[in-house]
């Protein structure tokens, strides 16, 4: 049935104003693949970008394609803000993904593998091993691999097996030479072993699936293996917790069990797989043709992270050791720590500034300080060596009130957060899980301390998670403050999340889903009004994603009024810059360097009014309307100057940055003639070293 002319016109107008969110996600992944192909980058850094590309593509299918497929299957034809239906988006996405797969396979086989081999890192087959290496492989197979293998056949009394998500498997047609009976079988590539098995002294690495294929006669003695091939399944991993759940922890645990058996959203198969074998898989998994992706070469290249982690510093960026930022480098006691924060707000910038010497030390000292009577914090994503959980437990053991808001619905961290919740509860920490339909994404910690006969509150507000591991690779800001109005706001927020009452009017914080979106709209409109009156009018925003239609329309209006708008958007961006009479004064760039640009920074200039915010919120509907998010003002002029300089450093990047054009294409930013490559992250590393050197020389 033909689409009505009026509907086609609406779709065209929407596409001219907005870029589809899902397709923009694939654009982000394509930028990662571009960096993997950049010969100016150290070789193992390129391999690392290929790993991240593969992981992001997995996430796309586990979450975005899962949602779209569900909508399309339910007959939902509602158009997204850009004008596309779920079915149209899926069709367009499939074409782009197939192209990305072709680029990925060619890059790995034709560029990265030969370059690695030239550096004595050879990914090879069993056939290319010498006698000593073959003998070593025989021994390792019998000792380490064979004991964990479980071949499964399909036949009478043996139904098609459950295929776990994101695991590589061998599919086989195995026949009995005596009877001629043929069966389909599956062997899972073990996940607890290295995907690339190191062998010998020549730097040889054999993919584990090829090892299994070589020893198939050992698995099926006396049988005729007529065909073997590789496949991999992706399943819906988006949890759906009922808003009527009485026990949120129990509901999430139930969903985790259900998610293991989620609907298939992608079936990757080796392009050499025969049609009968592909049909066998599709029938057993109940997968339609549009979810099947034939691939050349290796499946699941996220595992090349094992290669990227090899101890070859000559093939990597120079190692960066975060510095202990003043005054944290000279603080030794809890009293000194809190005195420094009382003297003025403190800003830290990870991973340039040390997470260990700042937040870890802060929370450890607070837990052991006799004058501290309460600690309240949020956990969204954390790590096994997090300082936060042990500090909260220690605080309880020392008789302090200890409260932790654990977001057990944090995607990918559900199981870990459930485990932490159990441990905290058993230790006596008061654990709160938030709301079934509202994720707690804010990064806040409140410390209550007894001082001079009164209680004083100290606050940390961050742009990133309290995660000791990611703090070494994610770029984030953290603000330490004793500002009484901010402390009042954070205390009110905690009381709202742990209690039942509605939050009062916040004094300084912008809090979603209550005040944040409207306050941002007001700030954008103030800049637009200033531009209309011929005054200074500028907006600078740094976020991970920008898709909220209302915010985008307000930015368009500000641009049309004459405001200058610079947007640093690392990932998904639905806004179209440089469109005549719509967004001519808007620039959009994405910086992808050795660190994941994760901080959210907002700067609004309207005449004499200038204000900065940092916090947890991206400019997406889920963040502004369906999560608890916090933005805090940064009011100290010196700290504002630092935020401004950080934004400027990233805008000056011509090394690993991309710029978005009006057609929705991302173009790599290159040095101009007679200019040299300049990395914004390298600039910030040098500044961190210089800041510490100046402090030591005083």
Residue with tokens 């004793």: 482
Comparing CA positions, the residue from 111, 436, 522 lying closest to residue 249 is 436
* Phi/psi of residue 500, nearest 5 degrees: -135, -20
Residue with tokens 């760039």: 589
Distance CA(191)–CA(188), nearest Å, equals 9
Q: Is 650 exposed, middle or buried (0-12, 13-18, 19+ CB in 10 A)?
A: buried
Half-sphere exposure of 190 (CA within 13 A, CB side): 17
Distance CA(502)–CA(482), nearest Å, equals 25
Distance CA(407)–CA(507), nearest Å, equals 25
Measured from the Cβ of residue 581, the count of other Cβ atoms closer than 10 Å reads: 8
Half-sphere exposure of 321 (CA within 13 A, CB side): 2
Catalytic residue among 349, 441, 460, 603: 441
Contact partners, residue 373, CB within 8 Å, separation at least 6: 400, 401, 448, 449, 450, 455
* Phi/psi of residue 490, nearest 5 degrees: -65, -40
Q: Which residue pairs, CB below 8 angstroms and at least 24 apart, start in 52-58?
A: 53/29, 53/100, 53/104, 53/301, 54/104, 54/300, 54/301, 54/302, 54/304, 55/302, 56/25, 56/28, 56/29, 56/32, 57/29, 57/97, 57/100, 58/166, 58/234, 58/302
Whether the Cβ atoms of residue 440 and residue 407 lie closer than 8 Å to each other? yes
Whether the Cβ atoms of residue 43 and residue 116 lie closer than 8 Å to each other? yes
Distance CA(87)–CA(73), nearest Å, equals 9
Distance CA(313)–CA(42), nearest Å, equals 10
Strands (E), 344-395: 346-350, 372-379
Cα separations (Å) of 285 from 93, 164, 531, 543, 639? 22, 11, 58, 39, 56
Whether the Cβ atoms of residue 517 and residue 625 lie closer than 8 Å to each other? yes
How, if at all, do strands 444-451 and 454-462 pair? antiparallel
The verdict on whether 441 is a catalytic residue reads yes
Q: Give, for 50, the enclosing helix (H) or strand (E).
A: helix 43-59
For the chain, state the CA radius of gyration: 27
Which residues are known to be catalytic? 441
């Amino acid at each position: 049935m033909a689409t009505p002319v009026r509907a086609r016109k609406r779709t065209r107008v929407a596409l001219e104003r907005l870029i589809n969110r899902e397709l923009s996600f694939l654009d982000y992944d394509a930028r990662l693949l571009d960096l993997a192909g950049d010969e100016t980058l150290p070789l193992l850094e390129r391999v690392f970008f290929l790993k991240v590309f593969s992981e992001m593509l997995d996430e796309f299918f586990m979450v975005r394609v899962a949602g779209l497929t569900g909508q399309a299957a339910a007959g939902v034809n509602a158009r997204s803000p850009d004008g596309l239906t779920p079915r149209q988006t899926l069709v367009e996405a499939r074409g782009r993904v197939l192209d990305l797969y072709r680029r990925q396979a060619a890059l790995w086989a034709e560029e990265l593998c030969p370059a690695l081999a030239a550096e004595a890192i050879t990914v090879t087959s069993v056939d290319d091993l010498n006698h000593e290496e073959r003998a070593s492989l025989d021994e390792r197979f019998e000792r380490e691999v064979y004991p964990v293998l479980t071949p499964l056949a399909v036949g009478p009394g043996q139904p098609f097996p459950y295929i776990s998500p994101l695991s590589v498997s061998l599919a086989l047609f195995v026949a009995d030479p005596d009877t001629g009976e043929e069966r389909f079988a599956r062997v899972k590539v073990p996940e607890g072993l290295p995907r690339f098995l190191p062998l010998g002294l020549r730097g040889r690495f054999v993919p584990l699936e090829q090892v299994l294929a070589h020893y198939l006669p050992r698995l099926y003695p006396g049988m005729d293996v007529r065909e073997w091939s590789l496949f991999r399944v992706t399943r819906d991993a988006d949890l759906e917790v009922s808003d009527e759940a009485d026990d949120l922890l129990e509901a999430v645990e139930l969903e985790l069990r259900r998610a293991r058996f989620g609907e298939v959203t992608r079936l990757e198969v080796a392009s050499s797989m025969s049609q009968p074998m592909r049909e066998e898989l599709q029938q057993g998994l109940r997968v339609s043709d549009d979810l099947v992706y034939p691939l050349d070469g290796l499946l699941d290249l996220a595992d090349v992270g094992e290669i990227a982690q090899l101890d070859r510093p000559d093939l990597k960026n120079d190692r960066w050791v975060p510095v202990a930022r003043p005054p944290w480098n000279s603080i030794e006691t809890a009293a000194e720590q809190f005195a420094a924060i009382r003297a003025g707000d403190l800003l830290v910038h990870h991973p340039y500034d040390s997470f260990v010497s700042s937040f870890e030390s802060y929370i450890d000292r607070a837990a052991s300080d006799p004058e501290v009577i309460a600690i309240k914090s949020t956990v969204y994503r954390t790590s096994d060596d997090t300082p936060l959980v042990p500090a909260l437990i220690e605080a309880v053991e020392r008789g302090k009130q200890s409260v932790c808001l654990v977001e057990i619905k944090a995607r990918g961290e559900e199981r870990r957060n459930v485990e932490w919740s159990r441990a905290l509860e058993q230790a006596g920490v008061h654990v709160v899980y938030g709301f079934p339909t509202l994720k707690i994404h804010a990064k806040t910690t409140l410390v209550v301390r007894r001082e001079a006969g009164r209680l004083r509150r100290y606050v940390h507000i961050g742009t990133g998670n309290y995660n000791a591991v990611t703090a070494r690779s994610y770029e984030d800001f953290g603000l330490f403050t004793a500002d009484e109005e901010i402390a009042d706001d954070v205390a009110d927020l905690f009381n709202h999340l742990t209690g039942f009452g509605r939050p009062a009017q916040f004094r300084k914080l912008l809090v979603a889903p209550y005040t944040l979106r409207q306050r941002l709209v007001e700030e954008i409109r103030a800049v637009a009004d200033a531009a209309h009156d011929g005054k200074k009018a500028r907006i600078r925003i740094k976020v991970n994603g920008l898709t909220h239609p209302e915010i985008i329309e307000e930015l368009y209006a500000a641009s049309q009024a004459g405001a200058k708008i610079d947007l640093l958007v690392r990932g998904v961006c639905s806004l179209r810059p440089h469109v005549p009479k719509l967004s001519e004064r808007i620039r959009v760039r994405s910086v992808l360097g050795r660190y994941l640009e994760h901080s959210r920074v907002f700067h609004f200039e309207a005449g004499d009014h200038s204000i900065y915010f940092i916090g947890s919120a991206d400019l997406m509907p889920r963040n502004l309307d369906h999560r608890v998010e916090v933005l805090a003002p940064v009011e100290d002029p010196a700290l504002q100057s630092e935020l401004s300089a950080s934004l400027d450093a990233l805008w000056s990047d011509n090394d690993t940055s991309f710029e978005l054009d009006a057609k929705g294409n991302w173009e790599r930013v290159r040095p101009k003639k007679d200019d040299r490559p300049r990395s914004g992250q390298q600039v910030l590393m040098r500044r961190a070293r210089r800041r510490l050197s100046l402090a030591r020389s005083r």
